[in-house]
Amino acid sequence: MPTITDTAAWTRLTAHRDELSTITIADLFAADPGRGERLSWEVSGLWLDLSRQRINPETIQLFAALTDAAQLAQRRDDMFSGKSVNSTEGRPALHTALRDLSGLTPDLFRSVARNHRESMLAFAEDVRIGKARGSTGRVFQDVVNIGIGGSQIGPMAVTTALMGSDEPQRIHYVANIDAADWITTRDHLDPETTLFLVASKTFFTQETMANARAAKKWLVDTLGEEAITKQFAALSSNTLAAKAFGINPKRIFSFPDWVGGRFSLWSAIGLSIAIAIGRKEFSAFLEGAHEMDKHFAAAPFERNLPVLLGLTDIWNRNLLNLPARAVLPYSERLKGLNPYIQQLEMESNGKGVTATGDPVKGRSASIVFGMTGTNGQHTFHQLLHQGPAVAAIEFIGVAKARHDYVGNHHMLLANMLGQAEAFALGTGADVSIHHACPGNRPNTLIVLKSLDAHTLGMLMALYEHKVFVEGTVFNINSFDQYGVEFGKALAVPLIEAFSSGDGTSPISAAALAKLRAWS
């Protein structure tokens, strides 16, 4: 069956790539010093600058033609209307309904989302003001979110970005099945003042339930069985399993099956966020995401930020042969953004077959890595500047500081711009061979006017829609993750084999024997 790489739009884009092959980013700026204004776009305090990419205005027009070939407009409308765009699992992908304030999604979905949200936010406020208390009557001082993947990565990224130092509770995240994760958190907790949130859509997630059982035992050993109903809440669609665990039904906060795990931080899975920042800020977070939803739903593709960001990524990895992308947030508060984007992009679009079962032609997703600036400058930037393996680069900066150290903030932003310029232009020919940096490394700049709940919501929704754009171009279902489930399934018989010593495949037998002997 023909794929996007078989279309005339892709052929024209390939020919355009060849025409630009000898033209550097420095050449593009020399020919058009004003390209910084022509190749940048803003939506409500979020600015996207593609001027340091190896593209020109004609590229943007060819991007739009590619979206026509992929029928992106129809596919986007199908998603917002509640059609089963998650084709392999036969259901909608309507995380946008969780934050819909203007009727972009069907009323029924919005109503369900609103009801779930209100009960979750009411509980969050009860925790914050001390109305909801532990089994001995003491106010909660610590909240521990036990979850993994989408039940942890997104909420932790938002909490890290937005939570102030004067909030009434401390928020912790326990994810790894390695008990060290639980133990190091536990050692800072008082059982009388700790609330546990078990975040698992199915309430069967292997790692989450192992940690939840450890937390339950610790609490019961100190305070007795009655503490479970007061100091545990569940964020799950499996209410029966949560009740069987001992959780009070009034503290089971559900969300629909049309919300995928890595798109679920806007749902009850965001309870830790709501406790961390409060109802007002959580609402502003949803409003920011909805702002980006409206933009994605209505803006022409030639100036549609998720479309431009997604098509530029496709251009870099498929046409310019840059399979990896470094995401570099120049904000310590955004240090959780890298794992969030890694999961969102690589779990969603890291697929080898299309939605119709045909092999994918081309690279469906980038290999995403990175860390905050300026830390990254002292780890892997050397390879990016002078190494023979070139990666695309994405800078994310915040214009206004959330602290009084203005000099530090200006230094941070100056480093970001300096790195972006160095990657684009290089050193020139008047330096020694050891000092020479070739430049012509394409990079994108995303700037937030400020790091607040509204703009962070916009930023995270931007990346969600970027993923959808790229999945649509390659005709991939961005909403399943069978590869993740396959690897976890193979672990089940191996868990038993650690006790019995047999029943495993030859490929793991020698390693299992050594681990058993040494453990």
Annotated catalytic residues are: 347, 378, 488
Report d(CA 3, CA 10) in Å as an integer: 10
User: How long a stretch of residues is the chain?
Assistant: 519
If we measure between CA atoms, which residue out of 256, 155, 153, 151 comes closest to residue 206? 151
Place of tokens 């006790």: 499
- By DSSP bridging, strand 367-369 and strand 324-330 are parallel
Report d(CA 223, CA 191) in Å as an integer: 8
Count Cβ atoms below 10 Å from residue 513 Cβ, excluding itself. 13
In the 3-class helix/strand/coil scheme, how is 39-58 assigned residue by residue? CEEEECCEEEECCCCCCCHH
Where is 174: in which H helix or E strand? strand 170-174
Q: Name the token pair of 46.
A: 């979020």
**SS3 of residue 373 by DSSP:** coil
- By DSSP bridging, strand 46-49 and strand 443-448 are antiparallel
Q: Name the token pair of 500.
A: 């019995």
- For 347, 350, 458, 460, the CA distances from 263, given in Å and listed in that order, are 11, 16, 14, 10
Starting at the edge strand that comes first in sequence, how are the strands of the sheet with 170-174 ordered? 170-174, 142-146, 194-199, 232-235, 252-253
Q: Are the C-beta atoms of residues 66 and 319 closer than 8 Å to each other?
A: no
If we measure between CA atoms, which residue out of 510, 331, 455, 74 comes closest to residue 518? 510
Report d(CA 95, CA 479) in Å as an integer: 11
**SS3 of residue 477 by DSSP:** coil
Report d(CA 116, CA 19) in Å as an integer: 53
Region for 45 from its dihedrals, namely left if φ exceeds 0, alpha if ψ lies in -120 to 50, beta otherwise: left
Report d(CA 357, CA 60) in Å as an integer: 30
* Rg of the chain taking only CA atoms, in angstroms: 24
Angle at 83 between CA 235 and CA 152, to 5 degrees: 25
Angle at 441 between CA 314 and CA 447, to 5 degrees: 75
**SS3 of residue 101 by DSSP:** coil
Report d(CA 449, CA 440) in Å as an integer: 28
Q: Are the C-beta atoms of residues 398 and 451 closer than 8 Å to each other?
A: yes
Report d(CA 318, CA 20) in Å as an integer: 15
